[in-house]
Amino acid sequence: MVLKPAIHVIKMEYDTIAAIATPTGSGGIGIIKISGKDAFSIAEKIFQSSHASWGKDRSDGDAISFPLKSHRLYHGHIVNPETGTVLDEVLLSAMKARRTYTREDVIEINTHSGYIVMASILDLVLQKGARLADPGEFTKRAYLSGRIDLTQAEAVIDIINSRTEKSLEIAISQIKGGLKNRIESTRNSLIDILTQVEAAIDFPEDVGDVIDVESVIQILDKAVIDELSGLVAQYENTHFLRDGLKMIVVGRPNVGKSSLMNRLIQDDRVIVTPIPGTTRDLIEETLNIRGIPVILADSAGLHETKDPVEVIGIEKTKEYIHASDLILFMIDASNPFTREDQIIYQTIDEKRLILVINKIDLVEDDFKPEIPEAWDKVPSIKISALYGNGLSSLKDLIAKLSIGDHHLDVQNTISPNLRHKIALEKSLEFAVSAGEEIRKGTSFELVAIDIKETLDSLGEIIGAVAKEDVIDQIFNRFCIGK
Amino acid sequence: MDVYKKKYDIIVVGAGHAGCEAALAAARMGCCVLLFAIDLDKVASMPCSPSIGGMAKGQLVKEIDALGGEMAKITDKTAIQYRTLNTKKGPAVHSSRTQNDKIRYHMAMKAVIEKQPNLDLKQAMVERLVVEDGRIVGVEDQTGFGYQADAVVLATGTFLSGLVHIGFNSFKAGRAGEFASYGLPSHLKDLGFKLGRMKTGTPPRLKKSSVDFNAFTAHGAEEQPVPFSFFTEKITLPQIPSFIGHTNKKSHKIIQENLKRSALYGGIIKGISARYCPSFEDKIVRFPDKERHQVILEPEGLDTHEIYASGLGNSMPMEIQIQFVRSVKGLESAEIMRPAYAIEYDYVNPVQLKPTLETKLISGLFMAGQINGTSGYEEAAAQGIWSGINAACKVQKRQPFILDRSQAYMAVMVDDLVTRGTREPYRMFTSRAEYRLMLREDNADIRLMEIGHEIGLINHDALMDVQERKKQISDEIKRIKSTVIKPGKEINDYLVHQGTTPLKSGMYLDQLLKRAELNYSAVDALAKNPDNISSKVARQVETEIKYEGYIHRQLKEIEKFKNMERMKIPDNFDFNRVHGLSNELKEKLSAVMPSSLGQASRIDGITPAGLSVIMVAIKAAERQTSEIGSRPSNGP
C-alpha cells in the first residue's frame, strides 16, 4: 500500500500558514505572523479591536464592523471566541496582498508577552484554520510569488536548508528516546492492523476475506487510541518543560509576595520582560529553577474591593490562576489566619498548590500555623522571604511537584511539542473514527482510509514515509499466491 | 540490408497481451501498423493461468475496455467461468475474474487482429533496432531483412535471453517450446539500456482423465455472470467449475528433502522472483509451519483435457515433480502433460521510460509489458494500449496520452514504474492506488470513456450512452437528496420490515440510503422515480451516496495531489545545477527526470526540503527565461 509520499509534507500556496516570527526566549516583543488567503478571516475571528469595544460602550452594542482594512495598525485584544477568554492585548497589522512580504494577505500580531502567551495565541490561530508554517516557508513564498529577486534564489535555498536542518536537529533532539519509540511502536501496531485489512482486501482467496475484528479492535483501543490519548495528555503535562512552568504567587496584601518574587528573580532570573506602559497588571518573569523554566507572575491580590481599577486587576489574576501550573499560596506566620486567606484558598483550591508560610523570622522555631484541616494535605514550606530562609527548600519543592508527579526524567523525557501535539490529535481523531467504523461493521476499504490517515499524521512527527511497508508485511506474514 | 518497401507508422514487436492491444489501438487511431510474432500460433497466448482479471486486475481490464481496448471483449467471448471477488466488501474493491478457454482466447484475438484494417500481422524474430540520430527508424529481423517505421513498441514478454529451468536442466527458450531472443537484449545493451533479470514460473498441466475429482471440491461458476466488457450483450460459452484441493505433509516432505535439486534453491536461478507468486519451494521454506496449501485445478479449455494445477508451481526435476504431484489427494495417478518450470528473462528497468512509456534514450521507441518488469496479462495489456495510443499520438503529432493516479489503475502502474522502477515483477494491487475508492470497476466507463472517444477508440454511440448515464446519475442523486420521507404507519412498518429503525420525524432519502440496512431499491420503493432507473445508474447513485463522506475526503486529497501534478518541471531541467540538493538526490532525479513536482515527490528518498529547493529552482529557471528580452516588471 502506498501512503501519501512527501507530497503531503510540502504544502501548497493555497493554504494559510502561521508561526511565531520572532526568536523565542529573548526580547520583549513577539510577532505572530499569518500569511495566506484566510489570514484576514482568521484574524477577524479572534481579534477584538479596542475601537470595537468602545462601540459597545456607546450603547449600540455592536462591535464596529470588520473587515480589517489593509495596511492599518489596530490596537485591541486577542480573544478566544469560544470561551471569551482574553489572551492578550496586542497591536495587529493587517496587510492585503500584494504589497506584503509574501505577496499574500498577511496579518502580524505584535505582543509584548512571553512565550507562553504567544504560543497560546498561535494555538488559537491554528485552531481557526491556519497551518503551522514550515521552516523558511514565509521566505519561500516570498520568493515564489516574485517578491524576492532572482539573484536571491540561492540565498532562499540556503535559508530553507539551514532552517530545515536546524529544525530537523531540534526535531530529532525533541523526538529522541521515548517519544520516537512510542510513536514507532504505535505505527507498528497500525501497520499490523493495516496489513490484515489490506491482505483481506487484495488477497481474499489466500488469507480469507474477513479479519479477526475483535483482535483488531483490541489493538486499536489499547496500542493506538490509549497510547495516543496518553501522548496528548503528556503534552499537557509536560509542556512546561518547553514553554515554562506557569507559576503565580497569591496571597492577601502585605503577606510578602513581592519580597519572595524579588528573591527568586535575583537568584534565578533569565530574561527580563517588562511590560512598559500597558494596562497589564501582571508582571511575568522567566526563571530557571532547578533546570525547569518557570514563568513567574506577580498577582494584584485577591481581596474584596469596589475600586474599578483593582477589580480589573483581580479579574486578571483569576484568569492567570486558571492558566497556571503551580500556585504559591502565601500566608503570614506572624499574623493570625484570616477569612481573607480562606476566600483566596477557595479560589485556588482546585489547582496544584504550595502553601508558603512566610515571615518565620518573626515566630518561634517550632511554630505551627493554625490552618483549616482541609489544608493539611497541601504541601507546605516555611520561609522568610526577607532573609532568604527556606528558599532552597521551596525551589526543591517546586521542582519535585512539577516533575516528580509525572515521574519524569528531565534529560530523556517524552515531551511532545505543539507541532507534535497537532499531529497527535489529528491521528487520534482518525484512530477513533477507525474504531467506530470497525464496530459498525463498515467495509474494510473505508476503514483503511482512516487507518492510513492515522499513520500519515504520526509519520509527520517522526518524518517516516512508510511506502511499501504494508505490502512487504503482507508477504512476510501471509503465504500469498497460487 | 534489404528493406521492405512498405513503410509503416508503427511496428509492434511481440503479439502477446501488450503487443495486441498496442497494435490494435494504433491501427484504430489511423496508423499503418505492423505486428510481429515469433510464432503466429501463439498470438495472445496464455502461457500461465487460463484466467483473466482478479483483484485490481479486473479494474485494469475494465479500464482497457473503457478506452476502447480489446481484452474485455475477447475475455467475454471465451470465458468459461465468471466470479466476482470481495462481494462481502464495498463496491470499490469488487473485482471480476474469469476462467478462459485459452485456445479460443488466442483464436478470437488473432481473428480480430487479422480483420483489423491498417494492421499487418507477420511472423519474424526482430534482432536489431535501426536508430538514426537518436530516433528510431525501423527494425531488422533475424534474417537481416529490414522494416521501416516512425515508432516501434517493444512488447517482448519473457523472450529476452529467456532461460527455462526444470531442476538443473536449463535451456534457452522464450517460453517452454518456443525460441528465445538473445540478439535483441544484447543489442539493447549496446544502445545504452540498463537491463535486469527476473524470474517467474508456471505450474504443471495434468491430464483430466487421470484426476480423481471426488477428492476435490467443485468451485462453481456464478449463475448470472456479469460480462467484463461494457459492450458485451451475451455470454455464449457454457460455464464450468474449477476444483479445490490441498497439498499435505507428504508433499511438503518431498519438496523439503529435495530442495537442493530445485533450480531455485540449488543456486541456478539469479533472477528476482515475485513474492505473490511463489514457487512451491518458497512456500515450504518461508512458511514451514503451514500444514497444507491450496491446489486449484482450472480447466484450460472446453475441448482440451489439460488441467492447470494452480498452486503446484515449482522448478524441480521431472522425477520429483511426478512424486510431488502424486502426493496430493486425488492426484495419485495424475499424468503430467506439461511439467512445471521456472523461467528467467531480461527486463529493462522502467525508470528509463517517460510517462508515455517512450524510452528516454531513443525517440520513438516504446516499451510495454514484461519487458518493463511487470507480471500479468492485464498489466501487460494496460501498458499495451497506453503505449500504442502514445506511439500513435507521437506519429500523428498529437498531445501525449497520460492519465494521472486519480483517474485510473493503469496510471498508478505506469507512474510507479517510471518513477520508482521495480526489482521484482510488478503486479497491480488495489492497495497501490491511493484513491482506490474512486477507481472502481463499476465506474470505469464513466471515468474513461469520454477520454477514449477523444482519442478515437470509442464510437459516438457509446459516448452518447455514457454521457446520458452520467446525467441520469446526477439527476437521480439530486432527486434523492431533495426528497423528504415523512413518518407514517405504512412507512415505518416498511422500514422495520427492512430491518432498520422507524422514523420519528421527516428524513431525506439520502439519509435513509446511508443506513447500512437499506440499499437503493429499498429506498427508491419509498418514493419511486417515475422514470425508469437502470441498474447501472442505481448502483452509481447508491455508491455515491452511501460513501459520500469518504468520497468527499478522497476528492479533497485528489485536489491537493493535482496541484502538485500541475507544477511542471521543464523537459530538459538540469537537476545537477540545482543548488542545495544532495548528490544522491541529484543522481536519482536526473535518472527519473520527473515531469512534475508531484512525480518528484514520489521518488524514493526525496525530502520536503528537497522539494522546496526544486520548486525554487524551477521558478528561477522560469524567470530567467521570461526576463530575457522583457522589461523586469515587478521587482520588489
**Position A60 pLDDT exceeds 60:** no
d(CA B590, CA B593): 5
pLDDT of residue A399: 80
pLDDT grade for A9, boundaries at 50, 70 and 90: very low
B residues 342..381 contacting A (CB < 8 A):
none
Cβ distance B357 to B415 under 8 Å?
no
Residue contact B616–A140, C-beta within 8 A:
yes
Looking at beta carbons, which residues of chain B come within 8 Å of A6? 601-602, 606-608, 610-611
Instruction: Look up cell 512458511; give the residue.
Output: B287
Cβ distance B22 to B385 under 8 Å?
yes
Domain that holds residue A10: 6-133
DSSP bridge pairs for B152: B11, B365
| Crossing angle for the helix pair B318-326 and B249-257, to the nearest 10 degrees | 170
Cβ distance B79 to B222 under 8 Å?
no
Cα B125 to chain center, whole Å?
26
The more confident residue out of B235 and A175 is B235
Cβ distance B374 to B426 under 8 Å?
yes
Do A341 and A200 share a structural domain?
no
Amino acid at B22: A
The 10 Å CB-count burial string (b at 16+, else e) for A143-164 is bbbbbbebebbeebbebbbebb
Among candidate residues B571, B601, B618, B575, the one with its CA nearest the CA of residue A144: B618
Residue ranges of chain B with per-residue pLDDT less than 50 = 629-636
pLDDT of residue A39: 94
d(CA B375, CA B422): 11
3-state secondary structure of B132: strand
Domain ranges of chain B: 3-156+185-199+345-454, 205-342, 459-549, 567-627
Count the neighbouring beta carbons within 10 Å of the beta carbon of residue A313.
Answer: 20
Q: Tell whether B546 lies on the interface with A, counting CB pairs under 8 A.
A: no
CA-angle at A278, arms to A276 and A279, nearest 5°: 145
Does residue A439 form part of some domain? yes
Please report, to the nearest 10 degrees, the dihedral formed by the alpha carbons of residues A103, A106, A110, A113 taken in order.
-110
Instruction: Look up cell 489593509; give the residue.
Output: A70
The alpha-helical segments, DSSP class H, found in A152-203 are 153-175, 178-202
Rg (CA), chain A: 27
CATH number attached to the domain at B3-156+185-199+345-454: 3.50.50.60
Residue contact A481–B276, C-beta within 8 A:
yes
Pairing of strands B33-37, A30-35: unpaired
CATH code where residue A265 lies = 3.40.50.300
Do A451 and A435 share a structural domain?
yes
d(CA B69, CA B501): 47
Does residue A372 form part of some domain? yes
pLDDT grade for A482, boundaries at 50, 70 and 90: low
Please report, to the nearest 10 degrees, the dihedral formed by the alpha carbons of residues A301, A303, A306, A311 taken in order.
30
Do A393 and A259 share a structural domain?
yes
Q: What is the pLDDT averaged over residues A188-214? A: 89
Do A246 and A207 share a structural domain?
no
DSSP bridge pairs for A132: A18
Cβ distance A139 to A19 under 8 Å?
no
Cβ distance B344 to B193 under 8 Å?
no
Q: Tell whether A229 lies on the interface with B, counting CB pairs under 8 A.
A: no
Distance from CA of B153 to the nearest CA of A (A): 30
Extract the runs of DSSP E, i.e. beta strands, from B423-542: 484-485, 507-508
Per-residue pLDDT tens digits for A25-39:
445 578 899 999 999
What is the share, in percent, of chain A residues with pLDDT greater than 70? 73
pLDDT of residue A470: 77
pLDDT grade for A334, boundaries at 50, 70 and 90: confident
Cβ distance B573 to B587 under 8 Å?
no
Extract the runs of DSSP E, i.e. beta strands, from B135-209: 135-141, 146-154, 163-166, 169-172, 195-202, 205-207
Do A400 and A349 share a structural domain?
yes
pLDDT of residue B623: 72
pLDDT of residue A463: 64
Looking at beta carbons, which residues of chain B come within 8 Å of A148? 636
Looking at beta carbons, which residues of chain A come within 8 Å of B55? 201-204
Least confident of A230-234, A401-405, A462-466, B574-578: A462-466
**Position A241 pLDDT exceeds 80:** no
Among candidate residues B587, B634, B579, the one with its CA nearest the CA of residue B612: B579
Residue contact A149–B635, C-beta within 8 A:
yes
Cβ distance B289 to B243 under 8 Å?
no
Per-residue pLDDT tens digits for A75-119:
988 888 887 777 788 999 999 988 888 889 999 999 876 666 777
The 10 Å CB-count burial string (b at 16+, else e) for B514-542 is ebeebebebbbebeebeeebeebbbbbbb
Do A408 and A420 share a structural domain?
no
pLDDT of residue B97: 96
Do A277 and A226 share a structural domain?
no
Distance from CA of A57 to the nearest CA of B (A): 44
Q: Tell whether B203 lies on the interface with A, counting CB pairs under 8 A.
A: yes
d(CA A322, CA A352): 11
Distance from CA of A255 to the nearest CA of B (A): 56
Q: List the grid coordinates of B54.
A: 482478479
Mutate to test the interface with B, among A198, A201, A211, A467 (most CBs of B within 10 A): A201
Q: What is the pLDDT averaged over residues A143-151? A: 68
CA-angle at A316, arms to A314 and A319, nearest 5°: 110
Q: Tell whether B612 lies on the interface with A, counting CB pairs under 8 A.
A: yes
ipTM of the complex: 0.89
The more confident residue out of B76 and A422 is B76
pLDDT of residue A2: 44
Q: Read off the pTM.
A: 0.82
Do A203 and A104 share a structural domain?
no
Residue in B with minimal Cα distance to A204? B86
Amino acid at A141: R
Does residue A139 form part of some domain? no
Do A301 and A394 share a structural domain?
yes
**Position A312 pLDDT exceeds 90:** no
Q: Tell whether B289 lies on the interface with A, counting CB pairs under 8 A.
A: no
Most confident region among A133-147, A435-449, B108-122 by mean pLDDT: B108-122
Of A356, A388, A412, the one marking the end of a domain is: A412
Among candidate residues A65, A125, A62, A113, the one with its CA nearest the CA of residue A89: A113
pLDDT of residue A178: 63
- Please state whether the peptide bond connecting residue A263 to the residue before it is cis, i.e. omega within 30 degrees of 0: no
Does residue A46 form part of some domain? yes
Of A133, A166, A190, the one marking the end of a domain is: A133
Q: What is the pLDDT averaged over residues A378-404? A: 86
Among candidate residues A44, A102, A463, the one with its CA nearest the CA of residue B636: A102
Does residue A401 form part of some domain? yes
pLDDT of residue A274: 37
Amino acid at A341: D
Mutate to test the interface with A, among B420, B429, B441, B596 (most CBs of A within 10 A): B429
pLDDT of residue A154: 61
pLDDT of residue A421: 81
The more confident residue out of B562 and A377 is B562
Does residue A442 form part of some domain? yes
Do A403 and A289 share a structural domain?
yes
- Residue A460 is classified by DSSP as H
Looking at 1.10.150.570, 3.30.830.10, 3.40.50.300, 3.80.10.10, the CATH number of the domain B567-627 comes to 1.10.150.570
Per-residue pLDDT tens digits for A289-298:
776 778 888 7
Mutate to test the interface with A, among B431, B565, B581 (most CBs of A within 10 A): B431
CATH topology of domain B459-549: Arc Repressor Mutant, subunit A (1.10.10)
Cβ distance A29 to A111 under 8 Å?
yes
Residue contact A160–B613, C-beta within 8 A:
yes
CATH code where residue A116 lies = 3.30.1360.120
Do A70 and A201 share a structural domain?
no
Per-residue pLDDT tens digits for A245-265:
888 888 888 888 888 888 888
What is the share, in percent, of chain B residues with pLDDT greater than 70? 98
Looking at 2.40.30.260, 3.30.70.141, 3.30.499.10, 3.40.1160.10, the CATH number of the domain B205-342 comes to 2.40.30.260
Q: How many domains is chain A partitioned into structurally? A: 3
Cβ distance A210 to A444 under 8 Å?
no
* Inter-chain contacts counted by CB atoms under 8 A, chains A and B: 162
Q: Tell whether A443 lies on the interface with B, counting CB pairs under 8 A.
A: yes
Mutate to test the interface with B, among A9, A198, A443, A444 (most CBs of B within 10 A): A443
Q: What is the pLDDT averaged over residues A41-61? A: 66
Residue in A with minimal Cα distance to B440? A445
pLDDT of residue A212: 86
d(CA B379, CA B399): 24
Q: List the grid coordinates of A113.
A: 508577552
Do A257 and A358 share a structural domain?
yes
Looking at beta carbons, which residues of chain B come within 8 Å of A143? 616, 619
